[in-house]
Amino acid sequence: MKPIVFLVFPAHGHVNPTLPVVRELTARGRRVVYFCGEEFRENIEEAGAEFRRYAGPGITGKNVRLLWNPVRFFCFLIQTARKMSTVHLREISRLTPACLVYDSLLAAGKIIAVKLNLPHVSSVTIPVFSGSGIKKLLSLKTILTEFGRNLPQLFLAAVSLCVIRLRHGVTLDPFTVVQNEAPLTLVYTSRFFQPGAESLGEHFCFVGPNIAARPRDASFPLARLAGKKVVTVSFGTILHEQRAVYRTCIKLLKDTIYQVVLVTGPNHDRRTLEPVPRNFIIRERIPQLEVLERTGVFLTHGGMNSVQEALYYGVPLIVFPQTPEQEYIADRVEELGAGVRIRSLAGLEAVFRHLPDFLDADAPYRRAAAGISRTLRDAGGYRKAADLIVRYGQSDKQ
């Protein structure tokens, strides 16, 4: 049986949504080969896939500032596409896949699939940027402001586009490099949550967040959350250095009726937050699904994965976005009435003075979040995603 090959951007928010799909495919007896960063090997192999090392760069502490600059991020993605489409082409060709599933940020997946005439699927773990969304993310003002500052990167990106065209015969549109569509494009939210969903074609299949059981973390004291008004604070795994936010949370919520779960992310010096108040649980990482299921309100950076998981459990959101993509998500949360977007620590203090607006059982934010939750649960999840991939890989569609 020909394998299903995954080629995924090495970041938790991009890998985690795909793992339940991989686990479902392997449980059905399908062979899955998964290209990704070495740090994800254990989780990928635990899901039943064969791990192969991804040869391209990811987003790390050294280049995280790319996320604040859409022009440089676009250039980064184009140059990554040139490198990876060359490095992985021969290896994927030898696998003779039934289907290639690639991360929507990795144009190399689309290039390889077109070059090898493979059925291909795009895995979208960020919002789909429609025409208006792209203009908001990469406005004329942004282009004009950043053009002069990034001439070397823009030149290298232009060279990469020419190399891709000459080497592979594929013309890459630089304005859609953040969402490389495929004949089957899986989006891990509901059509209701997606901004501008009515303008998207039928090849966009909204399957909702892939919520599945994860290994139990016995070290986390879930019992301390029972019967409490829980406030969870997390800024993900890349943009987690938010000391001012954490200190503000401690200042405003210590010794209150709220049980606070504060996630610092990896390698954070916990001593900067001591002494830890009695009503706080501070960890580098948490079993997020189990905690969100018991959470009353979630303070988040607005990463797509975190927002979708919270809304799946009907949790209202306070969103403090750190990148243009997260601003886009925060605006949608606010538009749908499931939470608020804040822009400063002063805004956070103002919101914290009105926490009952989020925590009360009949609060409007909670009702709106519950409505979105129903659309996410009805979308089908990882089983529907697996069904679509298998069906498409067996079809004659190219």
Q: Which of 53-62, 336-345, 379-388 has the lowest mean pLDDT?
A: 53-62
Amino acid making up residue 35: F
C-alpha angle with apex 73: 79 to 191, nearest 5 degrees?
A: 110
- CATH number assigned to the domain comprising residue 262: 3.40.50.2000
Q: What is the pLDDT of residues 204-220, one digit of tens each?
A: 999 999 998 776 778 89
Residues contacting 228, CB < 8 A, separation 6+: 258, 259
Average pLDDT over residues 258-267: 89
Q: What is the pLDDT of residues 137-166, one digit of tens each?
A: 555 566 666 666 777 878 888 898 898 888
**Arithmetic mean of pLDDT, 347-356:** 92
The pLDDT, as a whole number, for residue 311 is 98
More confident residue, 267 or 137: 267
- pLDDT, mean of residues 356-381: 94
Residue type at 17? P
217, part of any domain = no
Same domain for 383 and 326, yes or no, is no
Whether residue 49 is found in the same domain as residue 120: yes
Place 62 in a pLDDT band, splitting at 50, 70 and 90: low
- How much is the average pLDDT of 83-103? 93
CB within 8 Å of 248: residues ≥ 6 apart: 345, 348, 349
The answer on 307 and 168 residing in a single domain is no
197 in the same domain as 228:
no
The larger pLDDT score, comparing residue 36 to residue 237, is at 36
- Dihedral sign (CA 95, 101, 106, 107): positive
How would residue 102 be classed by pLDDT, with cut points 50, 70 and 90?
Answer: very high
Do 193 and 47 have their domain in common? yes
Range with the poorest average pLDDT among 34-38, 61-65, 165-169, 363-367: 61-65
Same domain for 204 and 226, yes or no, is: no
Provide the residue range defining the domain that includes 182.
Answer: 4-208+379-393
Shared domain check, 49 and 155: yes
Per-state percent for the chain, helix, strand, coil, to nearest 5? 50, 15, 40
- Domain assignment present for residue 267? The answer is yes
- Whether 216 is covered by a domain: the verdict is no
Q: What tens digit of pLDDT does each residue of 273-282 get?
A: 888 999 999 9
Q: In total, how many domains does the chain have?
A: 2
Clarify whether residues 245 and 386 are in a common domain: no
Give the span between the Cα atoms of 198 and 191, in whole angstroms: 8
pLDDT averaged over every residue in the chain: 88
Q: Two tokens at 175?
A: 């304005």
pTM of structure: 0.88
